[in-house]
């Protein structure tokens, strides 16, 4: 299992709507990952199952979208991922050893947003 490396992506506007399904489609096209995932596709997510990295279903916690041709972290996507980590929407089943690293990754984006992650509130 793997937490992706922090990409320090530029942030989209904080009030930008988040539509994960639409973002997924745009990220696949932008990354030229129509047949299988690749590194560019991976960088839009916070976590993936390394043993199944050739399957799109191995990638979790999408936080980025393609805006004006560039990959950007979307604050509402970051917040949605944090909410899932907190157990909303049914939560997410991650290896116990990865949970703190995922939270640390998301916390870096919260810091960029001048905000506090929900687990630190």
Q: Average pLDDT of 41-55?
A: 96
- Pairing relationship of beta strands 70-73 and 64-67 according to DSSP bridges: antiparallel
Q: What residues pair up with 112 in beta bridges, in sequence order?
A: none
CA 9 to chain CA centroid, Å, is: 11
Confidence of residue 51 (pLDDT cuts 50, 70, 90): very high
**Residue 77 pLDDT more than 90?**
yes
Question: What mean pLDDT is predicted for residues 98-121?
Answer: 95
Q: What is the pLDDT of residues 82-107, one digit of tens each?
A: 999 988 666 788 999 999 999 999 99
pTM: 0.94
Give the residue numbers spanning the domain of 69. Answer: 2-120
Q: Residue 69 and residue 36: Cα distance in Å, rounded?
A: 20
The pLDDT of residue 102 is: 96
Q: What angle do CA 107, 3, 83 make, to 5 degrees?
A: 45
End-to-end CA distance of the chain: 28
pLDDT at 87: 80
How many domains is the chain partitioned into structurally? 1
Instruction: Answer whether residue 65 shows pLDDT above 90.
Output: yes
């Amino acid at each position: 299992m793997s937490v992706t490396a922090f990409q320090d992506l530029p942030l989209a506007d904080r009030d930008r709507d988040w539509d994960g399904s639409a973002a997924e489609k745009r990220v696949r096209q932008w990354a030229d990952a129509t047949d299988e995932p690749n590194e560019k596709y991976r960088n839009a997510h916070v976590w993936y199952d390394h043993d199944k990295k050739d399957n799109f279903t191995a990638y979790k916690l999408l936080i980025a979208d393609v805006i004006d041709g560039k990959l950007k972290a979307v604050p509402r996507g970051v917040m949605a991922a944090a909410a899932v980590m907190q157990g909303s929407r049914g939560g997410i089943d991650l290896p116990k050893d990865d949970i703190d690293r995922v939270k640390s990754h998301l916390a870096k984006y919260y810091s960029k947003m001048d905000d506090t992650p929900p687990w630190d509130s």
